[in-house]
Amino acid sequence: MAHLLMVESWVGSMSRLLPRAVREGGHEFTFLTRDLHHYLRSAPEGSAHPLLGARNVITVDTNDTETLLPQIERLHGVLRFDGVLTSCDYYLPTVARIAGRLGLPGPGPEAVENACRKDATRRVLADAGLPGPRFALHREWTDLARAARDIGYPLVVKPVDLCAGMYVRRVDDEAQLADAVGALSDFPVNARGQRREPVVLLEELLDGPEVSVETVSHAGAVHVVGVTDKSVGGAPAFIETGHMFPAALTSADTEAAEQTALDALKALGLTDGVVAHTEIKLTSSGPRVVEVNPRPAGNRITELVRHVTGIDLAAAFVDVTLGRAPDLRRTDTGLRSAAIGFLLPKHAGTLEAQGRLRDPEGVLELQLSEPGQVVKAADSNNAYLGHVMAGDPEGLGARDHVETLLAELRSGLVVR
């Protein structure tokens, strides 16, 4: 039995999948957080709270890394950790530094920090010769306006240190650029109380469909589990509205996406102890990296993979965190594809009613927000009002099935 240190987590699906994987692997974990109430406010209904399975729950300032590291060393002297992990993007660099300090398995801190900072990722990939969008990084408005004219509209405005698509916007002219930059400057601290870098990343708008490549790295070898497709809506925001695994691509596009992800992970140095989710645009000029996430995919993509292949990426995450070879053997699950679709509000208001499915055949998951919830206008992946997941035992028809189910749910969705 191994003992893992878990530093913070998300409050979504991975907050349940990761503790389950630890438990089913025969291990235990100590949970470290700066704000326990952040998790208690979102306790999953109808099941035990995941943190009830923790060996210890310790409150400490996880945002002050310099103070945290010696505290962790003292805890390690008493509790003896075999690995350290998190499912929250904002603490991945902290976890890498803890692992390095304690001599535990995991990728190097610099590699993780470069992957978690969108501007650093762009520089590393460009230096490695990987083709990417034209980009610029600036703090002041005059510099941003000039860089935008140089790159050319339309372009994409991005924060360098947020996730879930927050404040990522398409802009078509200088007025829209000013609005996007202003909105970002009005959000100086993230949801975990960490002060943001007050810089803005501008990127050339890439054409073509977007996919993600799911990989597991261990002992210097990167294993491709598969490619997931993605649908995006909510313009001018970029909100993920659905996914299907495996992606319905030609073999040439699949191979190109996989090789691009492998090249990016190698350039960043993420070849050991990482389950990664690399997002790629299949542009008319070839594949281009959108971003590299050194953690398992969100939005239930890990469950799509499990339903089709039998591979549990949360369990693989635990294994590589402990320096152990992950089990990536595929099994016949009876499904050839699985897809998920998300419900988004069309406007702000109060959720009064949700739609219902007339025929739930083939449905793998159905989760809907309860009426009475206050709804904000959809501007990121945090705006979902629910999701439906379904599979196809014959081929790549799961997405079409999910779209039919979503239409039923939308027909009864009322927000006023």
Q: Over the Cα atoms of the chain, what is R_g?
A: 21
The pLDDT tens digits of the residues spanning 186-218 come to 999 999 999 999 999 999 999 999 999 999 999
Closest CA to 276 of 223, 206, 229, 330: 223
pLDDT more than 90, % of the chain: 84
Local structure of residue 295 (DSSP, 8 states)? S
pLDDT greater than 80 at residue 241: yes
Band of residue 42 on the pLDDT scale cut at 50, 70, 90? low
Residue 15 confidence (pLDDT): 83
User: CA–CA separation, 174 vs 151, rounded Å?
Assistant: 12
pTM of the predicted model as reported, rounded to 2 decimal places: 0.95
Q: Tell me the domains of the chain and their CATH numbers.
A: 3-104 (3.40.50.20), 134-204 (3.30.1490.20), 207-333 (3.30.470.20), 337-416 (3.30.470.20)
The pLDDT tens digits of the residues spanning 72-109 come to 999 999 999 999 999 999 999 999 999 999 999 999 99
CB neighbour list of residue 77: distance below 8 Å, 6 or more residues apart: none
Band of residue 43 on the pLDDT scale cut at 50, 70, 90? low
Band of residue 377 on the pLDDT scale cut at 50, 70, 90? confident
pLDDT greater than 90 at residue 378: no
Closest CA to 71 of 7, 140, 166: 7
Q: Is 300 left (phi over 0), alpha (psi -120 to 50) or beta?
A: left
Beta strand 337-343 with 239-245: parallel, antiparallel or unpaired? antiparallel
pLDDT greater than 70 at residue 45: no
pLDDT greater than 90 at residue 148: yes
Sheet of 349-353: strands edge to edge? 374-375, 349-353, 414-415
User: CA–CA separation, 262 vs 270, rounded Å?
Assistant: 9
Q: How far is CA 362 from the centre of its chain?
A: 26
Residue 14 confidence (pLDDT): 85
**Helix residue spans in 313-369 (DSSP H):** 313-321
Sheet of 56-59: strands edge to edge? 56-59, 28-33, 3-7, 83-85
Beta strand 386-392 with 337-343: parallel, antiparallel or unpaired? antiparallel
Average pLDDT over every residue of 286-291 = 97
Three-class secondary structure of residue 203 per DSSP: strand
Band of residue 319 on the pLDDT scale cut at 50, 70, 90? very high
Band of residue 164 on the pLDDT scale cut at 50, 70, 90? confident
Residue 362 confidence (pLDDT): 84
Higher local confidence (pLDDT), 118 or 164: 118
Burial class (CB in 10 A: 0-12, 13-18, 19+), 317: buried
Higher local confidence (pLDDT), 161 or 360: 161
CA distances from 367 to 31, 289, 320, 363, 404 (A): 27, 31, 30, 11, 16
CA distances from 257 to 15, 229, 278 (A): 29, 11, 9
Three-class secondary structure of residue 187 per DSSP: coil
pLDDT greater than 80 at residue 46: no
CA distances from 64 to 29, 71, 263, 379 (A): 22, 11, 33, 30
Which tokens go with 361?
């055949």
Beta strand 274-283 with 363-368: parallel, antiparallel or unpaired? unpaired
